[in-house]
Every structure is written in structure tokens, then in C-alpha cells.
Amino acid sequence: MVQCGAGADEAIVDTADLARRPQAARRSPARPERAAVYSLAGMRDPRVDALAKILVNYSTSIGDGDTCLIEGGAPAEPLLQAVYEEVLKAGGNPIVSMQMDGQAAAFYKHASDRQLEWVSPVSSWAAENADARIAVMASANTRDLSQVEPERQTIRQRAMQPVMESMMTRAAEGKYNWALTLFPTHAYAGEAEMSLADYEDFYFTACLADQADPVAAWRKQSEEVERLRDWIQGREEVHITGPGTDIKLGIAERTFIAADGKHNMPDGEFFTGPVEDATEGEITFHLPSTVSGREVSGVRMRFEGGKVVDASAERNEEFLIKMLDTDAGARRLGELGIGTNYGIARGTKEILLDEKIGGTVHLAVGKSYPETGGVNESAVHWDMICDLRRGGKITVDGEVLEEDGKFVV
């Protein structure tokens, strides 16, 4: 699961229809024939309104009097406006925080170390007092942080760690609802090698925003991931094998969470925090990911006693190693997630979507989610994806759960 971190643009490191969906995205007949979210008549794309309804009425369940922080980049203004309206309709009190294009890049370019370490009291207040937070990623340039030194990003991540911990702790206690999504932009479409129009269709379909009753559709789709979660709960060891992969993870007495659209949108996985000292073996991560403006690909890791003792990457290996050296917890696992969303059939270089792909498994180095029973602490939470559709297998306590990317239980 991708964390809803200190800012929508920082969600990946400051720290995305489920199994029965059709493989191909389909074009909604209601969609305007233009690559934009406004129709020629000046009305919003109805799928934007549908996504806002999902986020407010299903993902975060805003109620009367709830304070909801709404955050996102300027390109997401249509969705932010729609979410704002839905929060008001639900009786909530919306607070809007919009980031400018290029804001993050300008921050890292000009901020001193003191400014990197400064935490806005607004962020602290929201983490400690708000009832909900809806964050919308809307990058106009997914590589605008590619020239920022990793050390400066590490300083910022460490500074924001208490904010992230407050949000995660309150969420685990049921006192704080949060949801993370993105808004289709040319940048995301370009990374996915699609036109903007095709990417919009792909994305809104993955979010079930093209359904007549999208909230009811998500409630129905949650049944499959809950079934799989119930099957694995209470077991002791997961064994993952495949090309370049043979790794065992301890899961005894850990809680699996069914990720069914309550925090990430789109969603589709079940996950836990592995036992911190019980991971042994090696794993190859097949899908590249773009993190803090850098594409890291061809990653291999070897674990001993739960710790990464050897790591390499075909691209941006130096950045990978520096992130693993952020703090003591960055070389241990904070998450094991198994993707269930077969409606997302291809990689997009956006982790919010890619980690949900049905037939993949992902591991996250760094901080655990407290609700899973995981206790690993770190300023990092970085998900990486292993594609099991290439001849992989997941065995749990000797019983096959998934083979060649398909569930067999």
C-alpha cells in the first residue's frame, strides 16, 4: 500500500477492480471527445465527480462535522473542487491545500538545511487533529526532482517522519481516515506510454469511476480481496519463487489487511508487515519505479536475518543504496503485499497503480504499518514489484496460493 505521506508529491518515499475485472480498459460513452476533464460545455467529466464520491463516501467515509484536509497539485483542480463539494454535501468541514507546479523542485533547489528540517505547523496540526485527509498526486513533470541530491531528500524525510508516524498511528487506532489517488496528467500518461485520453480511460476504469454506482461497485469488489486475506491470515511463512527470486518471509502472528479502496485509489491487494528478522533469500524486482524523480530499475536484493545485506540496480544503483542507508530500519521490510487488481494489466512506472497489478507481489523496505503488527521504524517506505506472471509462485506453509500470476486457492 502506498502511504499518504507528508505531501501528495512526497507520498511514495515519505513514506493503487480487483480480481474479476476485465483486462482491457474501455472508453466510457459519456466521456467528452477531448483529452481534458471538462466537456465542451464547461462541465466536469462525470468520472471526476464519480471519483470524488468514491473518495469521500467510501474511502474516507466523511460524516457530519468531520474535518477533512484536501491536498493536491494545481493540475488536479477539477478533482479537488469535486472532492471539496462532496465533503460539504457529507456535512464535513473541508480544508484545501493546493501545491503549485514546480513547488517541490523549487523547495529543494533553494531551501537551506534548516528549512529542509522545518515542519509546517499546518502539517503537524492536520496529522494530529484532522479526521481525514484526501491527497491527490498531479505531477506535471514526474522527473522534476531527478537532480536533487539524495542526501537533501533524506534530510526532509527524516524531518517529516513524526508527521507520518502520527498519521499512521491515528489511522491504526481508527481515528484518522486517509486516501491517496492521482489525477491523470500528460506526465503520468507519458510515463505509461499512453496518450492522455487513453490514460484517462485506463485510470478511471481502474478506479471504477465509470460505473453507474461506483461506491456500490467498490463494496462488491472488496469481497474477493477479503476472501484471499482470510485464507492467508494465521499462517506462518510465505515462500516466493521465480526468475531471480527465492525468498522466504515470516508472517507468524501478523495481521493481513485487505486493501479494497479505503486508502489507495485505485486499489487491490492484501498486505502485512513481515516479521522483521525472518526474511531470508533473494528477490528480483522486475518493474521499474520512479521515486523522487529518479527511475530505479533492475533491482535485486539479498536478505539475511531480515536485513538487506546486498543490493544492486541496473539503473540508479547509487540512489538505491543511499536510500537503504537512510536509517537503521531502511534495510528491513515494512510490507509484503500481493496484488489482486487484474484490471491493471501493465506497468505504468507509477507505484500507486503498479503495486496493485494482479499477478505481482511487492515488498517495501522501511516503515511498517502498525495495524499489521509490524514494528519496523524508518523515514522510508519504498515499494518494489516482482512480477510473478513470468513463471513465479507463492507458497504459504507449503500450500500454493498463486502460480504464474493466478490465484489457485
- Per-residue pLDDT 10s for the chain (409 aa) are 887 654 434 433 333 332 323 333 333 334 433 344 554 345 789 999 999 999 999 999 999 999 999 999 999 999 999 999 999 999 999 999 999 988 999 999 999 999 999 999 999 999 999 999 999 999 888 888 888 888 898 899 899 999 989 998 999 899 999 999 999 999 999 999 999 999 999 999 999 999 999 989 898 888 999 999 999 999 999 999 999 999 999 999 999 999 999 999 999 999 999 999 999 999 999 999 877 778 899 999 999 999 999 999 999 999 999 999 999 999 999 999 999 999 898 899 999 999 999 999 999 999 999 899 999 999 899 999 999 998 999 999 999 999 999 999 9
Residues 201 and 62 in one domain: yes
Q: Do 279 and 347 have their domain in common?
A: yes
Judgement on whether residues 281 and 383 belong to the same structural domain of the protein: yes
Whether 294 and 354 map to the same domain: the answer is yes
Residue 138 domain-assigned (yes or no): yes
Per-residue pLDDT at 250: 98
pLDDT at 39: 42
Report d(CA 346, CA 44) in Å as an integer.
28
Q: Judge if 33 and 176 occupy the same domain.
A: yes
Q: Are the C-beta atoms of residues 148 and 316 closer than 8 Å to each other? A: no
pLDDT at 5: 59
Domain boundary among the residues 184, 218, 252 is at: 218
Q: Are residues 191 and 321 in the same domain?
A: no
For residue 172, the domain's CATH number is 3.40.1830.10
Q: Is 227 found in the same domain as 208?
A: no
Question: Is there a single domain that holds both residue 208 and residue 247?
Answer: no
Residues 273, 323: one domain?
yes
Q: How far apart are the first and last CA of the chain?
A: 23
Residue that is last in its domain, among 164, 189, 218: 218
Find where cell 474516507 sits.
Answer: 60
Q: Range of 396's domain?
A: 221-407
* Residues 221 and 215: beta-carbon distance below 8 Å: no
* In a domain? residue 277: yes
265: cell is 485509489
Confirm if 158 and 201 have CB atoms less than 8 A apart: no
pLDDT at residue 4, as a whole number: 63
Let me know if residue 360 belongs to a domain.
yes
pLDDT of residue 168: 87
Identify whether the C-beta of residue 310 lies closer than 8 Å to the C-beta of residue 331.
no
CB atoms under 10 Å from CB of 309, counted, come to 11
Does 268 reside within a domain? yes
User: Among 218, 239, 256, where does a domain finish?
Assistant: 218
Same domain? For 400 and 297 the reply is: yes
What's the structural domain count of the chain?
2
Amino acid at 27: R
pLDDT at residue 136, rounded to an integer: 97
Q: What is the pLDDT of residue 42?
A: 57
Residue 139 domain-assigned (yes or no)? yes
In a domain, 2, yes or no: no
Per DSSP, 57 falls in state I
Claim to verify: residue 92 and residue 199 sit in the same structural domain: yes
Whole-number Å distance between alpha carbons of 195 and 116: 36
Q: Are residues 245 and 105 located together in one domain of the fold?
A: no
pLDDT at 8: 39
Does residue 133 fall inside a structural domain?
Answer: yes
Residue 158 lies in a domain: yes
